[in-house]
Amino acid sequence: MEPPRAPALRRLLPPLLLLLLPLPPRARAKYVRGNLSSKEVSTPSPPQLPDCLAKESVIRPENNQVINLTTQYAWSGCQVVSEEGTHYLSCSSGRSFRSVRERWWYIALSKCGGDGLQLEYEMVLTNGKSFWTRHFSADEFGILETDVTFLLIFILIFFLSCYFGYLLKGRQLLHTTYKMFMAAAGVEVLSLLFFCIYWGQYATDGIGNESVKILAKLLFSSSFLIFLLMLILLGKGFTVTRGRISHSGSVKLSVYMTLYTLTHVVLLIYEAEFFDPGQVLYTYESPAGYGLIGLQVAAYVWFCYAVLVSLRHFPEKQPFYVPFFAAYTLWFFAVPVMALIANFGIPKWAREKIVNGIQLGIHLYAHGVFLTLKFPFCIPTAFLKPLFRRKQLACDRLGLPGSELGIRRV
């Protein structure tokens, strides 16, 4: 980690101690700015002075843990500056230190005795000089590379889905659920693009743009919700055994998706307002996060019921529904299991990069399975009955299994 630059101190200060305490596990690599005045820091009275000195005694000057912010201490880089008749210390310097493992690094300011203090400070904490690590903390190493890799993969998936869509449209088989899949893949690409923009800017200046990150999260959640709705619709037989959803089914879907969307929004607001970056909290470590896990489990129960009902009325659809159900059962359980493992099984200083890779891998699995199940070409629909024979012939020419058309409204 490269040296943090020392603060600029307003007004002439007596000797101060900048304490660098190497305690586990991390200091988030970024710019740190702020102001501190005597109103925020109480000046020790004589009876309290021994306590103040006792707190300072835990550090070891021989380990270069102490920087005296005075002109007598050369490493502090301090000098007296006059501005409009006011004298103050201006200190500019840095320190570099190494650790064999991930740690939290604490920086403390101490002044025992004398009057109160007033200062303005700015620090830059970095990890090495590489573009890929300089402004990233240990738990963020590899996130940018991972996002770029998955962006390229999802761009390929999106173009493949568009190509398949073009073929389906030519055969008049471009059904609604496949359009939803294309939309989910496209939104996923946009989400990863904005994540890469955010992390790329963060790697450059150590600050980033939070608005871009929030937009990326919203798009990521939107892609997930579109895909989830598509799975439930397919489970209920939409475009497989029937051409429309009943009124009651539409109302239930609308209520569920609205509730899911609102919970996602609450989660983002809760994360922005109440999460302390210093505690390295995970997205699902909140009431809204556990609510999302509950909704995911409820969606799976609904998915199971819908698939079983579809199979009971249309057993000839078993060649499609059996692999479909098995593949996406794993997907439904992957999200809550990942959340629980992240909350209780992954060290905080490695959590963000690991969870990011797993989460993207889960999304890639879901989209990849959809493309490899071969049903973009052969799911019959009930929209246009005169085209049924043409659809069957298209499947026969491709050598893919086609099935009889089932028409049922539930």
Long-range contacts of 197-200 (CB under 8 A, 24+ apart): 199/143, 199/144, 199/147, 200/144
* pLDDT digit string, tens, across residues 246-273: 888 888 888 888 888 888 788 777 777 7
Asked whether the predicted pLDDT for residue 380 surpasses 50, the reply is no
Pairing of strands 17-21, 106-110: antiparallel
Return the beta strands (E) in 55-205 as ranges.
66-68, 78-83, 86-91, 106-110, 119-124
Write down the pLDDT at residue 230: 92
Select the more confidently predicted residue: 56 or 394: 56
Checking if the pLDDT of 181 tops 80, the result is yes
- % pLDDT > 90, the chain: 20
Q: Rounded distance, CA 99 to CA 393, Å?
A: 67
- For residue 86, name the pLDDT band (cuts at 50, 70, 90): confident
- Most confident of the ranges 2-11, 164-173, 286-295, 388-397: 164-173
Q: For 323-351, write each residue's pLDDT tens digit.
A: 899 999 999 988 888 888 877 888 777 78
Using the structure block, give the residue that is written with the tokens 């397919």: 234
Pairing of strands 31-36, 119-124: antiparallel
Locus of tokens 């909350």: 343
Q: Has residue 61 got a pLDDT over 80?
A: no
Average pLDDT over residues 99-120: 75
Amino acid at 4: P
Q: What is the mean pLDDT of residues 378-407?
A: 42
The DSSP code sequence of 306-331 is: HHHHHHHH-GGGHHHHHHHHHHHHHH
* 285-313 per-position pLDDT tens digit: 777 777 778 888 888 998 999 899 889 98
Please list the alpha-helical segments (H only) found in 236-317.
Answer: 247-274, 287-313
- In the CATH scheme, what architecture does the domain 138-398 have? Up-down Bundle (1.20)
Q: What count of other Cβ atoms lies within 10 Å of the Cβ of residue 366? A: 24
Distance (Å, whole) CA 287 – CA 283: 10
Residue 212 pLDDT more than 90? yes
pLDDT exceeds 70 at position 126: yes
**Close Cβ partners of 50 (under 8 Å, ≥ 6 residues apart):** none
Of 298, 301, 268, 299, nearest in space to 284 by CA: 268
Mean pLDDT of the 183-206 span: 94
Mean pLDDT, residues 347-361 taken together: 85
DSSP letters spanning 177-233:
HHHHHHHHHHHHHHHHHHHHHHHHHHHHHS---HHHHHHHHHHHHHHHHHHHHHHHH
> In the structure encoding, which two tokens stand for residue 196, read together?
């890469």
- Report pLDDT for 185: 95
- The residues, ordered by sequence, that sit 6+ positions from 395 with a Cβ below 8 Å of its Cβ are 377, 378, 401, 402
Pick the most confident of 106-120, 221-235, 375-389.
221-235
Mean pLDDT of 68-75: 80
Alpha carbon distance 390, 393 (integer Å): 5
The reported pLDDT for the residue numbered 3 is: 39
pLDDT digits (tens, 9 = 90+) for 10-44: 333 333 333 333 333 333 446 666 776 654 444 45
Average pLDDT over residues 362-387: 64
Question: Rounded to an integer, what distance in angstroms lies between the CA atom of residue 50 and that of residue 394?
Answer: 88
CATH 1.20.1070.10 residue ranges for the chain: 138-398
Q: What is the DSSP letter of 4?
A: P
Q: What is the mean pLDDT of the chain?
A: 76
Identity of the highest mean pLDDT range in 269-278, 315-324, 371-380:
315-324
Adjacent-strand bridge partners of 20: 107
Which residue type does 57 have? S
The pLDDT value given to residue 49: 57
pLDDT digits (tens, 9 = 90+) for 138-158: 888 899 999 999 999 999 999
Q: Which residue has the higher pLDDT, 401 or 341?
A: 341
